[in-house]
Structures are given as structure tokens and as C-alpha cells.
Structure 1
Amino acid sequence: MIEIITADNIHLYRTEMDEAYRLRHDVFVEEKGWCDLAHADHREIDQFDNHYALHMICRQDGRVVGYQRMLPTTKPHLLSSVLADLCEVERPVGEDIWEWTRYCVARPYRERGRTLSPVANALLSAIVEWGMESGVNRIIIEMEPIWLLRLVQLNFLITPLGIPRDIGKDSVVAVVAKFDCRTLEMLQALRGNSERVLQGQRLPNPVAAE
């Protein structure tokens, strides 16, 4: 199950968020070499971990093994404020478009080869479930180009926003990925069930509700 953490309930998840920040540091600083994100306490936290951020965590065996963050494009986010050079067209903005950032999975829970791991499937499914329940149907992603084909195979409709550029050890490209019920059905088919992965009641789009 995937748990959603927002400004309203983050006080209940202090331990889990500490684990999530450390996982982010392990993946983006230690593995990917994004040295600008390094912190002495090994907790990767930036200016976008704010009131508008929506965090999703996956817990197994008593610890956080998967994490991702969603940011509204109507507020400052990575593509608008930090990685603007990745976008060579008019930047997509709207209440129905959010930015998917800081996706990471702990090493023992990652896929091998082309197979999508259960944790990865749950995190992707959570985005689609939350989006379909919240009036969001597109996400901006800054990712390695190798992910493009994989997302297309999962029934995301991909539109590049520019050409790849080097960040740390990686080549990164910005895209808009559109999803719908067909995307969710593909993810459900791959994991062999149609159960909802999001824990708790359905949540509205926090920006649209302002």
C-alpha cells in the first residue's frame, strides 16, 4: 500500500519522512552523483518540500523502501525554478498537471532487467489512482531517456519538452506524460490484481481546493 503525506498529516510521519529523505540522499547523491543535493546529515531536503508538496511512501518490512514527490505546476517546482533549461517549449502549467520528482526505490526492492518491481508498480499506480481521483491527468518528469520506452509500454502518452542534458552522472530529459484508465489497467495487469494501492480515503487536489 502507498501512503500519501501532505502538510495536513506530515506531523504523524516524522520517522517515515526522515527515512524518505535519507533514501533520497542515498539514491540521488550517493548513486547518481547529484552533488549539489548533498547534506552533511545525509537527508536530501530542498525548497520544494513545502506546504504544497505531496509525498507518497511505500513501506515494507517496517521501513520506507519507495518514495516519490508530487508538486503542483501552478506553484514553483523543479522545471520552473531549477531545471528550466530542460524545457525548450512553452512550459506546461495547470491544476491538471503536476510534477513527479524524487522517485526512488531502495536497492533490494528494485526491478531486475525489464521487469517492473512490485514497489515500482505500486508507486506508479499510486500516481495514476491519485490523479484520476483528483482531476490530474498529466505529469511532468525529468528522467533518464531510457525510461521513455518503458513509460510508453505502460500506456503513458509521452511528449518531450526538450533534448537530454547531463546532470550528475545521468543524461536527463523533461517530458509530459499523460495517463488515463488504460494506464492503470496496464499496471494492474502487470501485477496481477486490480486492488487499489492507495491507503485511506480518496483525497482531492489540494491546489484546486484552495
Structure 2
Amino acid sequence: MIHAINWANAHLHDGALYDSHRLRHAIFVRRTGYDVPTYEDAEYDQFDTPAAVYLVHRGGSGRVDGVARLVPTTRPYMLRELWPDLVEGPLPESPSVWEGTRFGIDAGLAVDERRNVSRRLVAACQEFGLDRGLEAMLVLMPPLILRSVIRSAGCEIEPLGPVKRKGGIPVQAARVPISEAALRAVRAVGGIRGDVLAPPPAARAA
């Protein structure tokens, strides 16, 4: 299952939030070479706040092997604060639109398993969005990843601006609609039956 973790419930998930930051370090710092803050092999930035929600996938052994970060556009978010030039037109500031970033899968997984985890994370984004009454998520990715991860999973992609190079990497901003139809498409493509998001954990007694 995939868990929606934030600062308020992180203590109920046995270190999964910290492990997700360590996975991000492996993906975005060691492998991709992003120039972002780190501490003891954990990656973080200014958008890792109490407003963020982390979709964390754990494999059969319990190890974190997939993550995505979701931030409401009513709070500071990456596109608006760092790269507004990637969007032609006004930037959203709405409770019905969130931004998805730091989407990453453990490179040590087999190719088929990486694809499965990726599609389950996309399905989890749709499930989370429907549960919160969202109409769309904004994403910022290399165009190849937009096509091979988001579109190939069954979602529509609405480009928000041109492809530009940031940190030596071509990236593009896009809007991904949230809908029951999109969730059905993602589940059909991924062979997913039922919800992938786990129910909220029961609070532990003090």
C-alpha cells in the first residue's frame, strides 16, 4: 500500500517519512546531481513543511521504494517560488489545485517493479485528489518523464509552458486533471484493483 504521511502523523509510520528523504537523496542528489540541501544522506528543501503530504510506497519488505510530495498551491510551492517562467499565464493559488514534486522510484528495483510502483503512485495521486476534492495537480518534470510516467499511466497532460533547461536538465510544467475517469484509466493501464492509498492509521494511545 501507499501511505499519505505528513508531519502530524509521521510518528505512526515507523520512520517512513525520514526514509523517504533518504530515498530522495539517493535519487535526486547521488544519481541526478541536484544542488539541494542535504543532512546525513537525507534530502530536503524549503517546501518540506507541515503543509506537505508525502505519498510513500513501501515494498514487501517494508522498505520505502517510492515517494511523491504534494503541496497545496495556497502555500509557497516550487513553480511559483522558483520557476514561474515555466508557466505561461497566471499561476494557480487555489485549494483545489496542488503541486506534485519529488516523484521518485528506487533505481535498485527491477524494471517491471519500477513501472508498477510508478503507476501505483500515479493512482495514489488521483485517489488523494478525489478524496480532497481537487480538480488538478501541477507537475514539473523532464518531458520524457511526463510522457513515460504520467501519460503512459493513463493521465492527461496539459502543458503550461515551454520546455526550458533548469540545472542542465530540460523540464516542463504541466497540469494533470483529477477525475474519476482518470483514476479508472490509471487502474486499467496498471492492472490495479481497488484503492492503493491505505486508510489513515489509528492514533496510538499516549
Range class of TM-score, shorter chain: 0.7 to 0.9
Aligned length: 199
Does the 8 A contact of 1:68 with 1:100 survive in 2?
Answer: yes
In the aligned structure 2, how far is the partner of 1:191 from the partner of 1:159? 21
* Secondary structure at 1:66 match in 2: strand
CA 152–15 in structure 1, closer or farther in 2 if over 3 Å, else same: closer
1:184-199, aligned counterparts within 5 Å? Answer: 184-199=183-198
1:4 and 2:1 correspond? no
Q: Deviations over 1:90-118 (max 9, x none)?
A: 11221111000101100133646xx9711
1:58 matched residue in structure 2? 57
Could you tell me the TM-score, scaled by structure 1's length? 0.86
Match of 2:74 in 1: 74
Alignment partners' CA distance in 2, 1:148 and 1:10: 29
Distance 2:110 2:164 in 1: 25
- Residue 44 of structure 1 and its aligned partner are, at CA, apart by 0.6
CA contact (8 A) 1:155 1:182 kept: no
- Which amino acid counterpart does residue 160 of structure 1 have in structure 2? P
Query: Superposition RMSD on alpha carbons, in Å?
Result: 2.1
Letter in 2 for 1:58: H
What pairs with 1:1-210 in structure 2 (closer than 5 Å)? Answer: 1-13=1-13, 15-35=15-35, 37-60=36-59, 61-109=61-109, 111=111, 117-150=115-148, 151-201=150-200
Tell me the distance in 2 between the aligned counterparts of 1:176 and 1:33.
26
Q: Which residue of 2 aligns with 1:208?
A: none
Query: Are the equivalent residues in 1 in contact too, given 2:139–2:174 (CA < 8 A)?
Result: yes
Gaps of 5+ in 2: 202-206
Query: Mean alpha-carbon deviation: is it higher for 89-98 or for 11-20?
Result: 11-20
**What secondary structure sits across from 1:146 in the alignment?**
helix
Letter matched to residue 102 of structure 1: R
* 1:126–1:197 contact (8 Å) kept in structure 2: yes
Question: How does the TM-score come out when normalised to structure 2?
Answer: 0.87
Separation in 2 of the partners of 1:21 and 1:154? 25
Q: How far did residue 201 of structure 1 move?
A: 4.8
Structure 1's consecutive aligned runs of 4 or more residues displaced over 4 angstroms after TM superposition are none
SS at the partner of 1:195?
A: coil
**What is the alpha-carbon distance in structure 1 between the residues aligned to residue 200 and residue 19 of structure 2?**
24
Gaps of 5+ in 1: 203-210
Paired-residue identity, %: 30
